[in-house]
Amino acid sequence: MGSPYLNFLKKVESIEDLDYGDFMRKANLYLNELLEDETVSSNPVLMARVEAMKKYIQFQPNWDVETTKDQIHVDTENLMFLDSIYAS
């Protein structure tokens, strides 16, 4: 099984919906799956970072799918970096 972060990122990048509401529902589903992953759920710092992503995806969106996908990509790379620090 691959990294939960890479799996999340792959799923989000595969969303082809241009309507933000449709995109948000799918991205939020994948984000909730990431939150349930033991790697994330066992670390309060990672949980907080994922919750911050939820805020801009669901609760305070900019309504632009591509910009949001770009931000998700950056934040997911940051999560992988933080996870590698905590794992060592």
Measured at the alpha carbon of residue 74, what is the angle toward residues 77 and 46, in degrees to the nearest 5? 55
Burial class (CB in 10 A: 0-12, 13-18, 19+), 27: buried
How far, in Å, CA of 53 to CA of 39, rounded?
A: 17
Tell me the average pLDDT across 43-70.
Answer: 95
Residue 2 pLDDT class (50, 70, 90 cuts): low
Task: pLDDT band for 87, please (50, 70, 90 cuts).
Answer: confident
Q: Are residues 9 and 72 in contact, defined by beta-carbon separation less than 8 angstroms? A: yes
Q: State mean pLDDT over 32-52.
A: 93
Rounded to an integer, what distance in angstroms lies between the CA atom of residue 46 and that of residue 26? 21
Mean pLDDT across the stretch 51-60?
Answer: 96
